[in-house]
Amino acid sequence: MRKVIDNLENHISDAVAHYWQTRKAQRDKQKKRGVSDAGLRSAVTGGAQMDGFIRLFTEIIVDAGMNERYVFRKRQLELPGFFRPTKEWDLIVVKNGHLVAAIEAKSQVGPSFGNNFNIRTEEAMGSALDLWTAYREGAFNGGIQPFLGYFFMLEDCDASVRPVKVKEPHFKVFPEFVGASYMKRYELFCRKLVLERHYISASFITSESETGVKGVYREPANDLSFTIFLKSLVSHIGAFV
């Protein structure tokens, strides 16, 4: 039987198309009801938008030999934290009392990229710190350290690719941020999450709203490709099978 990873591009396209089609359906439904739900709140309340990616992660994990009964993606997603009682992840794998993997799958659509960028980055860093500290303190019964993965899809549009000014009233920002667009900022952020070992692997893709409904997407950075992310996940799952 052919594995999902052997036809990965088509599966990613399907997940991208599901995202935009679901989002469009949600927005059309809101318009009929006369409800406005834009920006970050729309992404939060429309969680089903990411279901295609969560389903793809699940299929990859099962293909790697993990029984699907150990994969949680719709319910029972809470994991204990160190700084807070629990945090709900987007997908977790728990087998024989040990945490195998935890994945965050997030997205952002314009027009409000500024504040939402800060919220997303703070969430991701805080979640990683909370989990690794809880792991250190024995919350997951020790054993092999879990795979912690971060996936992000950003809308490719004028507002996300436009250079953004930085304010430096007292000290200079790091040079890579000078004139960087929000797209570039997200790329740098995902790369640094892995560089500083907050996450084992990260993937970053972009997609335009118009062509995205047909599954069109782009990977701005080779080191943050979906393929590398999934191969890292598969390798880690193998240690628990």
The conformational region for residue 65 under phi > 0 = left, psi -120 to 50 = alpha, else beta, is left
Helix, strand, coil shares, percent, the chain, to 5? 50, 15, 30
Give which of 149, 147, 164, 158 is closest to 206, Cα–Cα: 158
Give which of 211, 179, 198 is closest to 121, Cα–Cα: 198
Would you give per-residue pLDDT tens digits along the chain (241 residues)?
467 877 899 999 999 999 999 998 888 787 777 765 554 444 444 468 999 999 999 999 999 999 999 999 989 999 999 999 999 999 999 999 999 999 999 999 987 888 889 999 999 999 999 999 999 999 998 888 999 999 999 999 999 999 999 999 999 999 999 999 999 999 999 999 999 999 999 999 999 999 999 999 999 999 999 999 999 999 999 998 8
Q: Which residue has the tokens 């790369």?
A: 191
Identify the domain containing residue 194 by its residue range.
Answer: 4-238
Q: How many domains does the chain have?
A: 1
Q: Which residue has the tokens 């980055």?
A: 121
Single pTM value for the model: 0.91
For residue 74, what are the contacts with CB-CB under 8 A and spacing of at least 6?
A: none
Give which of 84, 73, 78, 28 is closest to 51, Cα–Cα: 73
Instruction: Report the C-alpha gap between 21 and 181 in whole angstroms.
Output: 26
Instruction: Report the C-alpha gap between 156 and 179 in whole angstroms.
Output: 17
